[in-house]
Amino acid sequence: MEKPAKIVARPKLAIIGDPAVGKTALTQMFHSNGQRFPKAYNMTCGVDFCVKAVTVPGTTDAVEFHCFDVGGQDIFSEMFGSYCEGTKAVLLVYDVTRGHTFEACGNWYSRLLEATGAEGLPGAVVANKVDLRERIVINRQVGQRMAASMNMPYFETSALDGHACDEPFVELAKAFAGGADQP
């Protein structure tokens, strides 16, 4: 019988980006171990919340993420600061088929830093919907450059087919495993 993982950190993780980039689908696929892809688009009204522990590969340590999937519509912008208060990490998600969602990532990150009062946060840039190969307008190199400029790792995911949905969370878990609530 395997020894249960020991929780070493419980960071608040904000999942942010423009509307309809797949934040909720990515979060639900992660939370359900790839079993729950939302069949229809439902706008996130404000924020959705879930908790999931991620075991750090090669260890018995785990990081318990408190995931805040923040609605991207302007109507919720007044509440953004309160939703993101206490955030310790971020996933910046964009849709590879819609260039404006990529261009908005810098603004989302700046708003998050302003809301938290932080100079920077650990996180990852997530290029979602890579299953739509024929419609991609933001290529890997462009995404990687932006991630590097923010000192974050870059991931390509497809919530629809479950491709790499856990990878950004596992990478963040590795970063947090060394400290109490910050990498």
Q: Is residue 92 part of a domain?
A: yes
Residue 148's pLDDT is 98
H helix intervals, the chain: 23-31, 80-84, 99-103, 105-116, 140-149, 167-176
pLDDT tens column, 13-23: 999 999 989 99
Q: Would you say residue 179 has pLDDT above 90?
A: no
Using one digit for the tens of pLDDT, what is the confidence trace for 77-106?
A: 566 677 788 999 999 999 999 999 999 999
Question: What domain range is 11 assigned to?
Answer: 6-176
Average pLDDT, the chain: 87
Is 120 inside a domain boundary?
Answer: yes
Of residues 74, 75, 76, the one with CA closest to residue 84: 76
Any domain includes 1: no
Structural domain count, the chain: 1
In a domain, 30, yes or no: yes
The 10s digit of each residue's pLDDT in 37-92 is: 555 545 444 556 789 999 999 999 999 999 998 875 565 556 667 778 899 999 99
Q: Is 182 among the domain residues?
A: no
Residue 37 lies in a domain: yes
Whole-model pTM: value is 0.88
Tell me the two tokens of residue 141: 């190199």
Residue 180 has pLDDT above 50, yes or no: no
**Is 89 a domain residue?**
yes
The structure tokens listed for 181 are: 């609530």
What pLDDT, on the 0 to 100 scale, is given for residue 119? Answer: 95
Residue 134 DSSP label: G
For residue 15, CA distances in Å to 21, 168, 169 come to: 11, 11, 11
CATH number at residue 34: 3.40.50.300
pLDDT value at 1 more than 60: no
Q: What is the mean pLDDT of residues 24-34?
A: 85
Tell me whether residue 181 is in a domain. Answer: no
- Residue-wise pLDDT for 107-157, tens only, equals 999 999 999 999 999 999 999 999 999 999 999 999 999 999 999 999 999
